[in-house]
Structure 1
Amino acid sequence: MNQLLKLSYEQISDQQMIDLRSQKEFQRGHLQGALNLTPRNLLKYGKHFLSKDQEIVLIVAKENFQELPALVEEAEAAGIENISAYLLAEDIPESNLEKIQTIPAADFMTLEGNYRLLDLRHPDEITRPAPEKHLVNIPIEELPENYSQLDLNLNVYTLCGSGGRATAAASYLKKQGYQPIVIEGGMGAVEAFNKGL
C-alpha cells in the first residue's frame, strides 16, 4: 500500500472524498461533502462525477482497507488516475458525521404535495416503471450535467433498483445544495408496496 497515503481526519481539506462503504453505512453517518460510490459504482460511474484536476481520497472501513490496492489499479485502468490517499471511516469523529435522509417506500407512496421523484435508472433497464407523480428520469451517469433542472426548493426523492445509485445521487445532490431523500429499498420496495406485500 506504498502508493496510497493514509490520512488523518485533520488532513482533509478540499480533496474529492469518495466513501466506498455500503449505502446503509453511508446513510447512517458520513463525512460532509463525501460522495458515496461503492467500489463497483466508482469503476462504473466515477469518471462522470470526478474532476481529473483534484486529488481523490477514498474513505474505507478498516475491515475493507486491504482491498484498496486492487481497486486503485482497476480505477486507473478505468481512467480515474488521481487517487492519492485514503481515510479510515473509523477515524472520522462521530460529531463530524452527517446523515442522508431516507423514507420507507410505503411512506413515499402516500406522500402529498409538491416534490420531485428522481429515477436514476437508465431507460434501457427500466422493466418496472416508477410512479409517475412528479417523476423526472435522469440516469445517474448524466446527473452532473442535468441536476440543475431540479428545483432547489423542492424535496428530491431518489429512486433506483435497490437504493445504491439513489444513495450515490443523494450524496452528490446534497453537495450541490439540495435536500435529497432516498427511497429505502428502491423499486423493489415500491413494487412490493404496490402488490400489497
Structure 2
Amino acid sequence: MRKINYKDITNQQLIDVRTQHDYQAGHLKNSLNLNPGNFKTYATYYLDLNQPVIFIVGSEEEGHLEELSESANELGFNQKNGYLLIDEVPKEDLQTTETILAEDFLNKSDDFILLDVRHPDEITRPAPEKNLVNIPFEDLVNDYQSLDTSKQIFTLCGSGNRSTAAASFLESKGLNPKVIEGGMKAIQEIGK
C-alpha cells in the first residue's frame, strides 16, 4: 500500500483506523472511524467499493496496513488504496469529537436523543430508556435521517468503539453528536 501525502487527498474515502480515543482527540473532517477490528464487518455498509480508500493511521496502526489492504481487496475495493500518517497532518486541519462522561449523561435533564447503535440481538445490558432510539450501526447509514436533528444526539454502544464510529458518520452528515465515554459498560458501573 502506498503512502499518500496529505496535500494529495482529493475525493478519496477517508477511513481513520486509530483507536476511538485517538480519533476523538483529532481527526480529518469527513473521515470515518473504523478500527482494524471492525473495518471488515462494516466497510461495505458505509463505503463505495468503486472509490479509492485512504487509511489514516498513527504509528501504532502502521502494523495493520497489510491486513487492512488484504481486507479491502477481499471486500472488493477495486481502486488503488493508500495510507496517510496522521502525524503528517497539520494540527489546525484536525477536528475533535465531543464526548460526555457516563455520569454526566445520566444527570442530563434537557431534551436529547440517546442513539444506541448496538444490534438488538447483542444487547445484554439495556440502555437507559429516556429518549432512547436504537438503530444498529450497520443500519445507521440508511436510517440516520429519521433522527430529530434539532436535539442533541448522544451515541452509545457497549464500550465506545461503534458509538465513536457512528459519531464520525453523523459528523460527516453535518450533525454534532457526542459520544458517551465507555458506553454501556461505564453506565452500568455507575449503577452498581
Q: TM-score, normalised by structure 1?
A: 0.93
Return the alpha-carbon distance in structure 2 between the equivalents of residues 103 and 59 of structure 1. Answer: 25
Q: Could you report, residue by residue, the CA deviation over 1:138-178 in whole angstroms, capped at 9, with x for unpaired residues?
A: 00000101000011211110000000000000000000011
User: Unaligned 5+ residue runs, structure 2?
Assistant: none
1:72 aligned partner: 69
Q: 136-145 or 61-70, which moves further after superposition?
A: 61-70
1:156 aligned partner: 153
Q: Retained in 2: the 8 A contact 1:29–1:98?
A: yes
User: Unaligned 5+ residue runs, structure 1?
Assistant: none
1:98 aligned partner: 95
Deviation at residue 63 of structure 1 after TM alignment: 3.6
Q: Retained in 1: the 8 A contact 2:50–2:77?
A: no
Aligned residues: 192
Return the alpha-carbon distance in structure 2 between the equivalents of residues 66 and 164 of structure 1. Answer: 20
Amino acid at match of 1:132: E
2:183 aligned partner: 186
Amino acid at match of 2:175: Y
Return the alpha-carbon distance in structure 1 between the equivalents of residues 113 and 64 of structure 2. Answer: 37
Q: Retained in 1: the 8 A contact 2:20–2:161?
A: yes
Matches within 5 A, 1:1-197: 4-82=1-79, 84-195=81-192
Amino acid at match of 2:27: H
Q: Retained in 2: the 8 A contact 1:118–1:159?
A: yes
Deviation at residue 83 of structure 1 after TM alignment: 5.4
Return the alpha-carbon distance in structure 2 between the equivalents of residues 45 and 81 of structure 1. Answer: 17
Q: Would the alpha carbon gap of residues 36 and 120 (structure 1) be closer, same or farther in structure 2, given more than 3 Å must change? A: same
- In structure 2, the residue corresponding to 1:118 is in which secondary structure? strand
Q: Could you report, residue by residue, the CA deviation over 1:74-99 in whole angstroms, capped at 9, with x for unpaired residues?
A: 23223344451110011111111100
Deviation at residue 6 of structure 1 after TM alignment: 1.1
Q: Retained in 2: the 8 A contact 1:58–1:83?
A: no
Q: TM-score, normalised by structure 2?
A: 0.96
